Amino acid sequence: MISRLEEYEKMFRLEGQLWWYRILHERVEESIRQRFGNRRDIAILDAGCGTGGMLDCLHRRGYTNLRGIDGSAEAVAFCHERHLSVTCVNLNDLATFEPEVRYDVIICNDVFCYFNEADLPPLITSLAHRLKPDGILISNNNAFNVFQGQHDIAVGVIRRFMLADFDQLMPAAGLYIAYATYWSFALSPMILGMRQWQRLQLRVGWRKPEEAQSDVYMPSTWLNEILYRIVKSEQKLLRRTPFGSSLFMVVDGHSQALRSIGDRG
């Protein structure tokens, strides 16, 4: 969980504009439409919803049955400013939150990185139990340790992932990875260079860990639009890419997992 109020403030202010958030939100909504078509009444839970940008995006696109939970009271307060139905719940206590309710879609973006090896499997199992039989879990995650930098320190990230990690974690919870890709491949050299420079600054003492800043900031309008278009074009041309600072997955619930065969969708 992010521990700095300033990071929540930046997230709240920039989620609707910054190229990275726009790409992620659009990708999530596209994945929902691919599974459920034009239905807007499906039950959606954003587990670890932060300041509510994802839920706000779905609301603006006509989805009507939206719920969110987050362990940060500060983040939930920002969600309430957006008039979203969000409750402050520690994700370790997910099983006790409205235990009778099941969801068609559970979104869990950039949350697993805050859970250690002992706590993550129970969380994924809890998420699986809250899905309807034909439901899906959509999850974006920090990828590859080589991309570690001051961003990780600023927002409290304790781990990064590779797809192989989830190839073990998801089946253990009765889930099946229907689709997965790293992103953004085209921007990886730029991001990698920036993160390596950040690590050098920390290593030689040019920047102290407590001074670390996240990568959540607004570049110039023209640069923000160029970055957005680069990644959007990449997604249109390449269904999957083998490398990137993030890993995006669509995971099938129990019934779909039993029916899923062959290569990932």
Residue 41 lies in a domain: yes
Q: What is the pLDDT along the chain (265 residues), one digit of tens a residue?
A: 555 788 999 999 999 999 999 999 999 999 999 999 999 999 999 999 999 999 999 999 999 999 999 999 999 999 999 999 999 999 999 989 999 999 999 999 999 999 999 999 999 999 999 999 999 999 999 999 999 998 899 899 999 999 999 999 999 999 999 999 999 999 999 999 999 988 888 888 888 887 788 888 899 999 999 999 999 999 999 999 999 999 999 999 865 655 554 444 4
Question: Residue 71: what pLDDT?
Answer: 96
Q: Residue 204's pLDDT is what?
A: 85
- Domain annotation covers residue 263: no
Give domain status of residue 260, yes or no.
no
> Is residue 259, in this structure, part of any structural domain at all?
no
At residue 148, the pLDDT reads 93
Q: Give me the pLDDT at residue 202, please.
A: 82
Nearest to 51 by CA among 14, 99, 97: 14
E-only strand ranges, the chain: 44-47, 66-70, 86-88, 103-107, 131-142, 176-183, 246-252
Name the pairing type of β-strands 44-47 and 103-107.
Answer: parallel
β-bridge partners, 138: 107, 250
Look up the pTM and report it. Answer: 0.93
**170-197 as b/e: b if 16+ CB within 10 A:** beebbbbbbbbbbbbbbbbeebbebbee
pLDDT at 1: 52
The answer as to whether 258 is a domain residue is no
The answer to whether residues 88 and 71 touch, using CB atoms and an 8 Å cutoff, is yes
**Would 265 be classed as within a structural domain?**
no
Structure tokens at 256: 């779909």
Tell whether 264 is covered by a domain: no
Q: Which residue segment(s) compose the domain that 135 sits in?
A: 5-252
Number of folded domains in the chain? 1
Is the residue at 239 inside a domain?
yes
Token pair 């559970």: residue = 106
Q: What is the CATH number for 54?
A: 3.40.50.150
